[in-house]
Structures are given as structure tokens and as C-alpha cells.
Structure 1
Amino acid sequence: MGKKISYVCLSLVMLWTLIPTLGTEEVSASSTFSDVNDNYWASDEIDYIAEQGIANGDGVRFRPEEPVNRAAASVMMTKSLGYGGHDRSAPTYSDVSKDFWAYKYIERASELGIFQGTDGAFKPNDSIRKAQVAAVVARAFFGDELEEVSYDGSFTDISDRFWAKDYIEVLVENHIIEEGGSFRPNDEATRAELSAYLARAMNKELRLDREEEKPSNTEILYEGVVVNIDDDDELYVRSGPGTDYRHFDKLDNGERVDVYGEEGKWLEIFVRGKKGYVSSYYVEKVDEVQSGEDSMDYRTEPIAEALVSVSSTLNVRSGPGTNYETIGKLKNGDVVEIYERTNESWALIKFNNQWAYTHRNYLREKKKGSNGLAGKTIVIDPGHGDHDPGAQANGLIEKNVVLEVGLRVEKLLEDAGVNVVMTRKDDTFITLQGRVDIAERAYADSFVSIHANAASAAAEGAETFYNSDHVAEESKKLAQAIQTRLVQETGMKHRRVADARFYVIRNTTMPSTLVELGFLTNPGDVNRMKQAGYPDRAAQAIYNGIRDFYDW
């Protein structure tokens, strides 16, 4: 795939330097700046981007209060999106020559639409305003949310007619900036402010704390259990009491919930620490469901079965939490029946003929007696798009090859009863973070990113990648299953299945893999890709690999 080195390294090797000479020394995790003490408001964010190699100041000072200019912002934004510089045959702007320190990054930023010049000039040394910073960060990291956002007067100096109000509101909603008081949108943005926005957008652990949500009533009205859901359906948890409100989570038949309040036909519940609402039709009191039976014996039929997927063993506990006693262990490959799911990611099972719990993160679940694919939500991600063509060689363009294959995978999965979410279905550009966000918001069961490779003419074969930061064993098995099918069914040589840090698989939290179909720079691989029917064979191979992963 094009720009593969940038994708592998992304934020780990991004260099944002605000001085005319781009340094090449790495910044160690222990580096500090003499002008940023531990009490400085953005010290954690500055430390983060320094550790990641995004900003290194002059090696001693960070100069956090200095304004950021357009040239420096261009470097930062293009790097944050996984791009290197772009060396055009002739400069686009009259005031940015080829020997200007940020020339290549300004060209790339202009190509990506991050910044544009005026009357043939870029004005690289002009400062950038806080509203402009909000706009570029919001578009880059949260662009798919902009159509739904509605400004609610978070700041006294931002009216509902201000041009950047929606960008600012998106950053508030994602805890990048703190609401309240004045925003001062026309002030010059500082190095610290831009660093903070970027660090928080990249790393959710650095985002501002939201005031903890609390139930309307401090006492639980009753414990409920989800009922009346068809086998292939799930119950939406919504942000308000009505179908007009956006859903943010899902519940399955048999999941227990604590009910704190009632609003008409809607129940106020808490799901994974967040307040939500569900229709009362689908929740019954546990006491009523049990009908007087002892303990949990009302659940006589399993609601799902699951394959244990761990590198060693999985603890079985007496209750739904790590504070409960360990009463046994499950081995990799064991199959268990699930009788109930709690809303804290624990599953109720029977172990040695007694009720017990184990963690769902290490279970590959499917409906009892169903094929493993039916009802799953799977995100297919054809890489690149629009102005980002990816690799180009021997008459093939990566963005076109992977879209052809991806659309065919979509059809095959849909025919198998899968809810397929595509990151793109046409020649559209989606940022790396945008692709991650699509998968996370879909609560996807798995994520498959499709690419084609480029290197020397000697490099050949298919390869797949996974990342060990999240559900490592599951991601590795998904990658292996697809790789096996690609080699068998497309004739590509086996290159490798490897742990890698591509942005889209490093930042998704479900089983994820990045597939490299072959090398556009290798004559043999290209000949296979140009054969009639290749997109169908490649799509069938990816589909079969996904099916193999779920059909155990």
C-alpha cells in the first residue's frame, strides 16, 4: 500500500518541528522541557507528543506560549494524518520555495485541503487562530460527527452564527476542550494549545474528564433482564427517552440492567457507567422472570455458545468481577454455553454443574445453533480514496483495486446475514481516525482493512497484520484465517502474518486485521491482479477467512 512506512509508524514517528531545521534525533520518553513544569496546564499533553516524537522544541525549551504559524501547523496536521511531505515539480505558492523548511508539508496540507493559500500565496509565517485550530482538528479527527452536532451555547463569545461553532462544539463533546466561559476564537493559537488538542484527539486517556453521570434517583428501582429480543436483534440503548435520540450501545437477550427511573414507556438505566434509556417493553423485573425459582435457575436454556480464545488459560470466577474467587480455569479451545450476559462484560456459564462467571473479552460468541457470521457487525475498510491514491504501479492504483474487492466482500457478507459497515463505498477520502471512529461507533465485532502493497520489484506475496494492543489473540487468528485463504484462493505467495502498529488496527478495540493483497510493484502479483475474476477471488478469500474465524 502507498505510504506504508507512514502508516506503520504514524504517530510514533511523526515530527512536528516549529523551527526551520527539521531535527532527526528521537525524543526519549524521559525528556523534559525547562519551561514546562508538572503544574503547567498542558504538561501531560506536551509530554505525550514529545514521547511520541511529534514535537521536540529546541531540545531544552518547548516554548509553549509562542504562537503557531501556518507552516508549523501544516507539518503537524499532515503528519498526524499519516502523510509525509509532497515534492511537486513546481511550488504551488509564490512565497514557499522548494528550499523552505516546511515546503513539502505545505504542499501536502494544501493537497489534502487542510490549508489553502490566497491569490497564489500561502503566508507560511502568519499565525493561526484558535478557531482555525478547532476547525482543522475537528475535520481531521471527528469529521463524521459534524453533520449531527448542534451548538448549544458552550461559550459566551461564540454565537450560533459563528463560522466555527460546530467545529468547536464537536471538540467539546469529545472532551478535547473544556466548555464554559469564553473561548476567544480570534486569539493566536499557541504551541501548547495545538499540542493539547492533538494529544487529546490521538489519545483518549488524555481527554478532559466529564462530570460523572449520576442517575436521577440514587436508589435502584429494580433489577431488570432484557427479554423479547429476536435471535438476530439487539436492544438499542439511547441517549434519551425516545426513538428520536441517538443510540450509543446495545443489549442482548438475557443481559441484566439496573433500572433507576421510568419516563413513560422508557426506562432509565446505566450501561458501562453511562446513563441511557431503553423501551420498557423489552425489560422485565428479574423477580418476575424468575417466578419464585431459586437463585439463577430461571435461566434454563443457554442464549449463546462461545469458544474460549486465550494464549494460556481463562479464569472462572464465582461472581461477575475480578474481586470474586477463582473457582477454576478454562483452556484455549474450550466451548462454553452462555446463560446470561452482564453489562460489565461478564458471562454467566455453568462450570462443573454450578453457576459461574468468566470474562467475555476472551470468548468468541455465537447464537446457539447458528452460523457464526449471522447477526455480526463487521466493518470493511477499503484503504485510501479520492486524492490519496495509495500505491501506483504497472497500471494499477491501490485505491481502485481495494474498493473493487471491498464491495464484493460486502455483498458476500450481507448474503450471510452480516450487518456490514463500509468505511467508504466510492472514491471518497476518510482519515485514519475517521475509519477507526466508524468501527467504534458501529460496535463492530471485527474490522478488516484492505490494501495493496508497494516496494521493490522483488517483494511479492500476500500478508496480513494484527496489533497486540487489543484482543491480540483474536486479531491474530482473524489475520491468520484470511491469510490462509488468500494464499489458497488467489495464488499469491505467503509472505507473513505479523504484529504491526498500523493506525487503524492499533486504535480499534475489536478483533482487527489489515490485509495486503499483494505488491503492485511485483510483475507476478500484478499479473494475478489483472486476471479476469481476480476481484471476485480475492473477495471470496477474505470472506472465507472471516467465515472460518467465526465458524468454529
Structure 2
Amino acid sequence: MKRIFVVATLVFSLVVSLVHFQTAVQANGFVDVPDRAAKEVNYLAERKVANGYSSSIFGSTRTVTRAEAAAFIGRALQLNGTQRNTRFRDVGSGHFASGYIQSAVERGILSGYGGGYFRPNQAVTRGEMAVMISKAFGYSYGGSLSGAARALLSRGIANGLEDGTFGASQRVIRVDFAVVLARAMNPAFRSGYTVDPRLSNQVVIIDPGHGGSDPGASGLGLNEKDVVLDTGLRLNELLKQTPLTVHMTRTNDTLPSLADRVNFAKNRGGNVFVSIHANALNGSATGTETYYYSEANTNPHVADSRLLAEKIQRRLVMAWHLRDRGVKQTSKLYVLKNNSMPAALAELGFIDHPEDNQKLRSDYWRNAAAKAIYYGIIDYYNEKGYDVDALYDIAR
């Protein structure tokens, strides 16, 4: 009887120890990721760009397949990952990466092989990875593996091998692909990364218009408040990857008053204020326009407000390909007039116009708008004399 009790006690202790061990493992993340890659892998995992095989196993040393590469890159670029039919006979609609594969091919990031095959299970080499990343993030590489390798090496995104080569023909493992992808997404992970220290003192305020009981403009089953909040949240994620401090006047379906928005910006020491809206005019108008306050009697930052508006407008028109309605002065618009910092208000498009509405309701085009506004803000700081070169890669 005593022996049975001792055995039972030991078994119970072992079970408790195992439970404690498993809990600790899950709390600390992936146990198979080396220290050199922990920050990059955690960065991708937090953003749901790269998944592990379980809560504790990332599969660091497994080779990356073409399907996995498509999914990683697709999530990083926020491409449409909805499972669907593809142009390839070996990637059916039920394949986990079918949506990302099709989207990446449509964007010219990936391509297939003769006979209509994609070869989703084929291992990716380091050279192929370099080409994929260069295409995905818009790096000029001259159309060759060596050019793509140089594009990554010169930016501190990838490292060479100990023998001094890039190892283009070697298969790439998941942890190394993750490191390269994270560095492409966020320059802060790159070797030799430097940033203008003055940027850490700059505060950007994002103001998604309307909200709560105020839907804003409506058209074709879409409300302005939802479009601009989603776009603002995407912009927020981009700016959070920079040294800039970023705050949003609302992050959910609430309705701060106009005075609340202005006071919020002032109380947080804002240096730049960007309000995001959508237009409407009986379905008869189309295009993008950006406003700034033109009188110095309340907001004295007229010149910088105009500069900010010009930079954002230029980028939005380039990204959305809608009619350029220009940068416009206003003596109204409370959030511009009563602010104490450079401020601009972007009207993305006309929600009651069919063409504009299709872009306003699209995840892809909202993401494009967020990137455009991001670039506009960075352009503004560049014009003001800040060193922002490294920040342009974040939204690519």
C-alpha cells in the first residue's frame, strides 16, 4: 500500500512538472528558434505573418517550400489570401496558400513553371528567396539572382555565408527566411541600421473621421466611418514600425467630438495631424483631394500644413489612380482650423461613386491608401530635413 502511494505521488509530481514545463514553453514562445533570430520571428508571429507548427515549435530548420514562401510574403504585404482557384493545376482551391499564391502571381512577385505547374512543395533556394523579396518590396535587382542578392546584402537585409558567397543554390530554412522577411518589413532589424534621432521626438496624430452614431458619408452599402477607421488602423501599424510616436483619436467605433480630437492631439504633443475621410456628392463626383487650413489666425502652421497636404495628395493619387482633385485651402474644417500643429485632411474618394466605392470597400486599396498616407508623412519629414531614407522600405 505504501509503495502504491509513493508511485502515485511520483506520477503526480511528474505530471505537475510536465504541465509547468509546457506552460513555461508556451509563455516563452518557440523553443526551437535560435537567439539570433528571436526578435524577427516573434515580430512575424505577433503580426500573424509566420506561423509555427505548434505553440512552441516554429520548425526553424525545415526548408521553406514555395507555398510557404507565398503565404509568408502574402501576409506581410496583406495580399488577398482567401482560398480560391488558381491558374495552376497543382494548386487547388482547397490548398492553404492558394489565395496568396494567386495574389502573388498577379502582382508579379512569383511565377510558375511550364505546363501550368507551380510546384508548391518545392524547396526555395537562397537565390530564389532574394528574387522573391526583391520583387515583393520593389528593390531593383537587374533580373538576376546575383543582383537580387546584392539588393538584400546592400540593405543589411541578408548576410552572406562564411565562405564569402551568398549561397544562392542552397536551400533556405524557415528561420533564415523569417529573418530576411522581417528585416525587409522593418529596417530596425537590419545590420547597420541608423535613424535620425530627432524622429523619436516627433508625434503623429491619426484622426479617422466620424464614428459611433455618426456614420459620415454613405453610399452603395458602405459607411465612411468604417472605411476611414480601417485605413487609419493600417496606417497606425506602419507608423509604429518607425521611431515616430503615433496616436489615434479613435481606434474603434466611437465618436469623439471635434473639440475632443483637437484637444487629444494637443495634449499628446502632436507635431503632425492627419485626418482621414471619404467624400460624397450624389454619385456625380470622383477623385481624391486633400485640405489644409489657410489662415494663420488660429493655426499658425499654414506653410507646413500645405506641405503635408501636398505630400499626402501626391502619394494618394499615385497609389489610387483616381482623379486628382488637388490640394485645397479651407477656412473651415474644425480639426484643421483649431489645431496647433501642421494638419491635413485627406478625402480618399467619393463613397457614392461606383469606381471610388469599389476601392474604398477593398482591403487591397485601403492598404494602398494607408501606405500612400504613410509615404506622404515620410515625404513631409524628408522635406523638413530629417534623414528618413530607411523608413521608405517599411511600407514596400
TM-score when normalising by structure 1: 0.36
Q: Which has the higher contact order (CA 8 A, sep 6+)?
A: 2
Q: Which has the higher strand share?
A: 1
TM-score, with normalisation over the residues of structure 2?
A: 0.49
